[in-house]
Amino acid sequence: MIAHDSPDARPRPLVLGSTSPYRRELLERLRLPFDTVSPGVDETPLAGESPSTLARRLALAKARAVSLLHPDALVIGSDQVADLDGQALGKPGSHERAVQQLRAMSGRTVVFHTALAVVCLETGFVAEETAQVRVQFRTLDDTEIEHYLRAEQPYDCAGSAKAEGLGIALLDAIESDDPTALIGLPLIRTARLLRQAGLTIPALPPALSPSHGPQPSEGIPHPGAVS
């Protein structure tokens, strides 16, 4: 049975089960206070596991792992896996591996599966969604690949594709119904699941002291990542 908090009740703490700077920066756009916690989940694919299934399994595993540490909180877990003809392409981790990935994706269409899970252990709330982004890569030569990798060093990005930076120059087209999904966190879906869990989005900003007057620059405190 999924339990929901009333939107009028005191909001539960919000935790992002990730230390990814990309996901943290995206979640900040919703202007909600949150903490970040490393989920410490083994991301090794299971035998015969499809890219979409892998992304969904890891997103839920991350949310559940962190919810054990913060049972009263709403915990967000997310994972992204690049899919080239059914083959999972994860984070390259090295320059050599990134070169191999980009050579394989040159001139091809790659589907990026970005899975999302929101869990609250205390209430039993569990909700999941997945966004799919179809990315058409240009035909790339080794010089272009080398220049891109030296400039961006996207070794922590699934499929070596950092489309929010110089990686956009490697592409012919992006098709998605959730614009931030390719960066690592589909915010349309994230906001929807958090509303289902009882949060109000957009939320009213914190009350300001009359003695200070309006202070537009004083918004939600910037959360620090937990290593």
Can 72 be counted among the known catalytic residues? no
**CB 106, CB 137: distance < 8 Å:** yes
Both tokens of residue 5?
């908090």
Beta strands in the chain (DSSP E): 14-16, 35-36, 74-84, 87-89, 109-120, 125-137, 171-175
Please return the burial class of 114, using the count of CB atoms within 10 Å of its CB with bins 0-12, 13-18 and 19+: buried
User: Phi and psi for 89 in degrees, rounded to 5?
Assistant: -115, 110
- Determine how β-strand 87-89 pairs with β-strand 14-16: unpaired
What sign results for the dihedral spanned by CA atoms 153, 223, 120, 193?
negative
DSSP 38-96: ------PPPTT--HHHHHHHHHHHHHHHHHHH-TTSEEEEEEEEEEETTEEE----SHH
Among the options 79, 141, 142, 177, which is catalytic?
A: 79
**Active-site residue list:** 79
